[in-house]
Structure 1
Amino acid sequence: MSSLSFSTPPSPSYYYSFPTSSVNLPRVIRISCGSNPTRLNRKKITSERSETQELVRLLTRKISEKEPLVTTLNKYVKLVRTEHCFLLFEELGKHDKWLQCLEVFRWMQRQRWYIADNGVYSKLISVMGKKGQIRLAMWLFSEMRNTGCRPDTSVYNALISAHLHTRNKSNALAKALGYFEKMKGIERCKPNIVTYNILLRAFAQSRNVDQVNSLFKDLDDSVVSPDIYTFNGVMDAYGKNGMIREMETVLARMKSNQVKPDLITYNLLIDSYGKKQQFDKMEQVFKSLLRSKEKPSLPTFNSMILNYGKARLKDKAENVFQNMTDMGYTPSFVTHESLIYMYGFCDCVSKAVELFDGLIESKVPMKVSTLNAMLDVYCINGLPQEADSLFARARRVNIFPDASTYKLLYKAYTKANSKELLDKLLKHMDKDGVIPNKRFFLDALGAIGSSTEKSGSANAGTDSKNPQKFAKTQTET
């Protein structure tokens, strides 16, 4: 099931007002009788937006070709404006290039057209927060005020989100609440629905039901009205934590607020009930979905297949897949992985192998996650030798392992107490330049048992640079 997200802070107004210098449009548009000015205006905005996105794609491509960023920007200095930089922040942020975001920002500040703007700072704070650069986010917040900009709601929303990306969740939640209370006392920074959505989801994920209830009460007392993102986000967080009763309470509240469920609502309910094996409720929600204006999506079917599989209800899972194809849906790689896992849970390893081999023979591009699913099925069925054989031939069919592949095999081979397979795996890691560290071993051995984990964490500090020695200690534990 795809992950759910809340509405993001509204884009600044300049995002939709583009300079005519960047596009070749006539200054005067003649409108004949019967023409619709609104439609022409909409076409003009669409055309300008397309031109803006095209220039950003060009800049991104030039930068990725190892051309110095500032050199690239200087080449197009007559065209680049704030809205281009704003989109460039998004693109660079997607690829973890947060330092280059700061370069673009510094370049912007040297341009004659640059005017300090809350929207730019808000976007940069958001990018830095997502990449865990909280100090830089705070520095940007401080610099914004030094330039004469006054923080507004969107800036505080970005700052709260940035803090919530830190590892110390309890500290982050405390700071988020501090900002929330501060916002209430500043007229231009009053919390909006985005603020509430961010906080409600954060506290729901931390399973702090009292604080969620408190925020809901605060929302009731405010002039802000909850939206579909509010309810979906909190229900999803509760559902993922198995807190079905709390999820259903929020669902009842959503109905009382006359907010209609959307596809995301149906999918998260189906997934949550399925994970708790409350299949009567899951099937009831699915029937409601079919009767609604919404249509099922691939995540709807993928979730049902996987959860039926975990309950060893093979016939029901296969029926879901059959219904899916009968309705005209094309299976995705996630669908195939769900089926592979389903057969693995139902002791039908041969069926999983048949499906996996069929995918290879069909020449469809294979993802490493599909390889991992098949390897995991071997391992959970106590077939580490078969997993080793598949791992050995993966490269021959152009599937290349990643860190998660090594982790699941390391965990399985340790659990099987197979020093021989561990040694082979560690040699492969060494050959591929994969250097395990303490985090690798703790993640890989997380499900083995507390005694193994404690032993692993104690040894990892001294032996993580010597994988063979560490593997030996694990098989002896």
Structure 2
Amino acid sequence: MWALRRAVVPLRTHGCHIGASRTCCAKLDTLTTDLEHKVETCNNTQFVSSGYRTWPKRSYQSLSSHSKFSSASRGLSSQAGAESSEEDSVEDGFSELETPSSEVAGETTVKEEIAEDLISEPDLSDDDETEVSLKELGLSDTDQNAAEETSPKKENDSGLFKVLLTATRNSMDNELNKWDEEGKPLGRTEISIAMLNLRKRRLYGKALQFSEWLDSKNKLTYGDRDYASHLDLIAKVRGLQQAEKYIKSIPESFKNEVIYRTLLANCVTGSNLKKAEEVYNKMRDMEFQMTAFSCNQLLLLYKRLDKKKIADVLLFMEKENIKPNLFTYKLLIDTKGQANDIGGMEQLLETMKEQGFEPDISIQATVARHYIFAGFNDKAEAVLKDMEGSNLKQNRAASRSLLLLYADLGKADEVDRVWKVCDPNPRMEECLAAIEALGKLGKIEEAEAVFDKMTKTWKKLSAKHFTTLLQVYANHKMLMKGKDLAKRMHECGCRIGPWTWDALVKLYVQAGEVEKADSILNRAAQQNQIKPLFSTYMQIMDQYARRGDVHNAEKMFHRLKQAGYGGRIRQYQTLLQAYIKAKVPAYGFRERMKADDVFPNKSVAVQLAQIDAFKKTAISELLD
């Protein structure tokens, strides 16, 4: 674990060294680093946003105050989710790539988990790390295993599931009452199959309504995992506040680690840093045995919002002897890649292999993607060949990633070759990847042909499938085709959600119609209970900043805060850029940031110095 932490982050030098005595990790101590953390003997620590609390029950060495979770040294989220503290002279492997906001292309956004009635659209990116499986949550023992092991039926053969799938919100209870009155099967197995497949389709609203009906009819004897499953649905559909309220109603004997890690996972999904740390600390206070899952959730959150805290989580895992798993390594490898630290990424891969883990397709794709964007195309191609293996027909699971990554490399022939393997009997995810890949290569007609193939292969397409092609049109400034496709979506009865709004806004922004894009976003935010994505707001705000339109940039900044996207440094960078472009001073900007608990990183400090130059002095006013 010590070697893992050393591989992850070049540590700071402040005097004494950690650990020659860490014999349990002696094998990995060959990994080198140029700096070491200062250590001090202190009490066990908790993760907090507003300070550094001590926990007197166990004592060990901890990081120095430079690395503690204090508000004074908090970093702030940027485009890549990276962080940088006020101590600009201190560098580590997780400092953000300093990029002026006007040059930032967009932000990696967090997947929004929302109710079926409000329509959830899955993430269209490669990054599935925010999708927490039932198995990881520990809920599969009563749901997934029962469904897969006990029943020989295929998922769509479940009569109960079909009833739930076709029922509306208003008719579901009546349909379920009728099912029950007719004496049809309603045991644990049938319930598990239905619930599992509702979750797989992200029909969380229906799943919650079904769960509440079961509870009202006393159809299940609840165990901790049943309570956790119900809690998970409440958090996804009604939010964290209602989920916490539900926990209070759970019998004390069932309020165990499974319950709270379920809540923690939903805090992370919503990027709620303060609440996630609060839940984690509560788990510590209740003396639950901490697991790799819970630590991974914090790593995931800090990877997105505050990279400087990653080393602290790894130190905690080391002290508590919590072994990293494959997902831990995936997070750390991706983080190093985001920081463009290719050497560190490769070092982590070696450490992972030494610990007995082999990279899966997801990790290989992550490594290849970072090689590509760092300019190591030969290394990327070697990884892709390894992913493909000797027979792609037998290794179809790699096809989706291969299509996208070969497109990133500009290898049109390789994209065509992989697609020819898939084309005779394509899977949905392969079609979507092919559309995106062909769009990247500028092969619009070929992308449209794949979309047409989808419409003929599957009876009904969702908004997600239309949105993939819509993104292609947006990227190529094909406004009229995008409008026609949007009308077609409406005619097909697709329910529009955040990912489609994002594509529509991008379509108009790329066509230069920023005001129209702003109008679409404003209507979407007002007419729906689902909030738009952070990146959707930022697409418009970036355009206002480039124009030097301070008024509209401030308006978008306000709307971001109203939508719950406060406290991220990205929008402050963009707003500052609007003032710089307009060559006007931004009075009190430092105070605004401080009031929002946001602190400048290097690039923001440069921008603040620029707007200071616009301020009038007594002599300048006389000269003017």
**TM-score normalized by structure 2?**
0.51
Which position in structure 1 is the counterpart of 2:47? none
SS at match of 2:441: helix
Which position in structure 1 is the counterpart of 2:436? 303
**2:294 counterpart (139, 158, 179):** 158
- Offset from partner CA, 1:196-243 (integer Å, 9 cap, x none): 334334433444333332232223223444444443454456667776
Say if 1:449 and 1:243 are closer, same or farther in 2 by CA, change over 3 A.
Answer: farther
2:296 matches 1:173: no
2:329 matches 1:196: yes
Equivalent runs, 1:387-398 vs 2, <5 Å: 391=520
- For the 8 Å contact 2:337–2:370, the answer to whether it is kept is yes
- For the 8 Å contact 2:509–2:517, the answer to whether it is kept is yes
SS at match of 2:329: helix
- For the 8 Å contact 1:270–1:300, the answer to whether it is kept is yes
State the distance in 2 between where 1:52 and 1:325 align. 28
- For the 8 Å contact 1:227–1:259, the answer to whether it is kept is no
Structure possessing the higher relative contact order (Cα contacts under 8 Å, 6 or more residues apart): 2
Equivalent runs, 1:264-275 vs 2, <5 Å: 265-275=398-408
- For the 8 Å contact 1:129–1:137, the answer to whether it is kept is no
**TM-score normalized by structure 1?**
0.63
State the distance in 2 between where 1:327 and 1:77 align. 39
2:141 matches 1:16: yes
**1:49 counterpart (177, 185, 192):** 192
2:97 matches 1:97: no
2:469 matches 1:333: no
SS at match of 1:3: coil
More moved, 37-46 vs 222-231: 37-46
Which position in structure 2 is the counterpart of 1:3? 126
2:206 matches 1:80: no
Say if 1:276 and 1:176 are closer, same or farther in 2 by CA, change over 3 A.
Answer: farther
- Offset from partner CA, 1:402-444 (integer Å, 9 cap, x none): 666665445445645789x959x969x99xx889979699379
**2:581 counterpart (437, 448, 452):** 452
State the distance in 1 between where 2:521 and 2:296 align. 46
Say if 1:224 and 1:352 are closer, same or farther in 2 by CA, change over 3 A.
Answer: closer
State the distance in 2 between where 1:392 and 1:202 align. 31
Q: Which 5+ residue runs of structure 2 have no aligned equivalent?
A: 1-123, 144-148, 155-184, 199-203, 594-610, 615-624
The amino acid across from 1:452 in the alignment is: K
Equivalent runs, 1:192-231 vs 2, <5 Å: 192-231=325-364
- For the 8 Å contact 1:204–1:237, the answer to whether it is kept is yes
- Offset from partner CA, 1:367-394 (integer Å, 9 cap, x none): 5654654454344333457668x75997
- For the 8 Å contact 1:271–1:303, the answer to whether it is kept is yes
State the distance in 2 between where 1:444 and 1:336 align. 33
Identity percentage of aligned residues: 15
- Offset from partner CA, 1:163-203 (integer Å, 9 cap, x none): 430355432321243245446xx4xx443334433433443
Measured after TM superposition, the shift of residue 91 of structure 1 is 1.4
SS at match of 1:138: helix
State the distance in 1 between where 2:238 and 2:413 align. 43
State the distance in 1 between where 2:238 and 2:474 align. 36
The amino acid across from 1:285 in the alignment is: V
- For the 8 Å contact 1:239–1:269, the answer to whether it is kept is no
More moved, 119-128 vs 433-442: 433-442
The amino acid across from 2:307 in the alignment is: S
- Offset from partner CA, 1:285-326 (integer Å, 9 cap, x none): 3234448996753422331353134xxx44444444455556
SS at match of 1:16: coil
State the distance in 2 between where 1:361 and 1:41 align. 35
- Offset from partner CA, 1:344-401 (integer Å, 9 cap, x none): 555654444444455556665445654654454344333457668x759979xx8999
State the distance in 1 between where 2:521 and 2:335 align. 42
Measured after TM superposition, the shift of residue 275 of structure 1 is 3.8
Say if 1:409 and 1:110 are closer, same or farther in 2 by CA, change over 3 A.
Answer: closer
Aligned length: 419
Measured after TM superposition, the shift of residue 83 of structure 1 is 2.1
CA RMSD of aligned residues (A): 5.6
State the distance in 2 between where 1:348 and 1:233 align. 30
State the distance in 1 between where 2:251 and 2:434 align. 50
The amino acid across from 1:87 in the alignment is: S
Which position in structure 1 is the counterpart of 2:164? none
SS at match of 2:301: coil
- For the 8 Å contact 1:308–1:342, the answer to whether it is kept is no
The amino acid across from 1:16 in the alignment is: D
SS at match of 1:80: coil
Say if 1:446 and 1:246 are closer, same or farther in 2 by CA, change over 3 A.
Answer: farther
Measured after TM superposition, the shift of residue 87 of structure 1 is 0.3
- Offset from partner CA, 1:57-93 (integer Å, 9 cap, x none): 899549999xxxxxx9999799433122110232133
- Offset from partner CA, 1:31-77 (integer Å, 9 cap, x none): xxxxxx976999976236369889x9899549999xxxxxx999979
Say if 1:340 and 1:400 are closer, same or farther in 2 by CA, change over 3 A.
Answer: farther
SS at match of 2:126: coil
- For the 8 Å contact 2:337–2:367, the answer to whether it is kept is yes
State the distance in 2 between where 1:88 and 1:207 align. 41
State the distance in 2 between where 1:138 and 1:355 align. 45
**1:126 counterpart (253, 265, 268):** 265
Which position in structure 2 is the counterpart of 1:30? none
Say if 1:273 and 1:164 are closer, same or farther in 2 by CA, change over 3 A.
Answer: same
Which position in structure 1 is the counterpart of 2:38? none
- For the 8 Å contact 1:411–1:444, the answer to whether it is kept is no
SS at match of 1:277: coil
State the distance in 2 between where 1:441 and 1:192 align. 32
The amino acid across from 1:266 in the alignment is: S
Measured after TM superposition, the shift of residue 272 of structure 1 is 2.9
- For the 8 Å contact 2:439–2:472, the answer to whether it is kept is yes
SS at match of 1:191: coil
2:377 matches 1:377: no
- For the 8 Å contact 2:224–2:258, the answer to whether it is kept is no
- For the 8 Å contact 2:436–2:472, the answer to whether it is kept is no
Which position in structure 2 is the counterpart of 1:143? 285
Equivalent runs, 1:360-375 vs 2, <5 Å: 365-367=495-497, 370=500, 373-375=503-505
